[in-house]
A = this chain, B = another copy of it.
Amino acid sequence: MRVLGIDPGLTRCGVGVVEGSIGRPLSLVDVGVVRTSTELHVAHRLRELEVGLEEWLDRTRPDAVAVERVFSRSAVSTVMGTAQASGVAMLVAARRGLPVALHTPSEVKAAVTGNGRADKAQVGAMVARLLRLDAVPKPADAADSLALAICHVWRGGASDRIAAALEKQVAARTRGVRP
């Protein structure tokens, strides 16, 4: 199974694609970030993000998409932009009929390092080891997107089947309506 992990953000949106299945070695397909221009209105930044994510989906053809769950508890001023970016990420995947799963940061950390409160360095180091990379992918958003994808490979089976069933249900309603 090939999973695209998305660490949502307006300035840097981490995107990482991993191939693997439970009990088998994982491999890196590609990793990077989609950036949008800080000088643009948020509406245009969301549009740039959509175009960037569509390119990643076209090129890497994942079977499922995993997006980091955003919480409102965060007092960070960027949380609204992050939430909007996560909305665009989910929308783009749903439009293609791909299963979409949300994983919390602590679920991802626990899956990859065994510790739900691991720090960024520990997560990065485990991602590099699991994918047999020479170095931790930079920036941190890129490494986080790979951790999300790995978490989904290991946790994703059941939630994907539920999502696929729901997708069939909604497909009838939105079929043929393409923007």
Q: Does A107 contact B (CB under 8 A)?
A: no
Given A54-B179, A100-B43, A79:B84 Cβ within 8 A = no
Q: Does A38 contact B (CB under 8 A)?
A: no
User: Would you give the shortest CB distance from A73 to chain B, in whole angstroms?
Assistant: 9
Cα separation A100 to B41 with both chains bound (whole Å)? 8
29 A-B residue pairs with Cβ-Cβ distance under 8 Å, sorted by A, are A40-B169, A40-B170, A41-B100, A41-B163, A42-B90, A43-B91, A43-B163, A44-B166, A44-B170, A46-B91, A47-B95, A48-B174, A51-B174, A51-B177, A55-B177, A70-B80, A71-B80, A72-B72, A72-B74, A72-B77, A72-B79, A72-B80, A79-B83, A83-B83, A83-B84, A84-B84, A87-B88, A88-B88, A88-B91
Chain B contacts for A94, CB-based, 8 A? 41, 43-44, 46-47
Partner-B contacts on A (CB < 8 A): 37, 40-44, 46-48, 50-51, 54-55, 70-72, 74-75, 77, 79-80, 83-88, 90-95, 100, 102, 163, 166-167, 169-170, 173-174, 177-179
Chain B contacts for A79, CB-based, 8 A? 72, 83
Cα separation A90 to B81 with both chains bound (whole Å)? 12
When the two chains form their complex, are residues A91 and B50 in contact, meaning their CB atoms are under 8 A apart? yes
Chain B contacts for A167, CB-based, 8 A? 44
The one of B40, B88, B170 in contact with A166, judged by C-beta atoms closer than 8 angstroms, is B40
When the two chains form their complex, are residues B177 and A54 in contact, meaning their CB atoms are under 8 A apart? yes
Chain B contacts for A71, CB-based, 8 A? 80
Cα separation A71 to B50 with both chains bound (whole Å)? 23
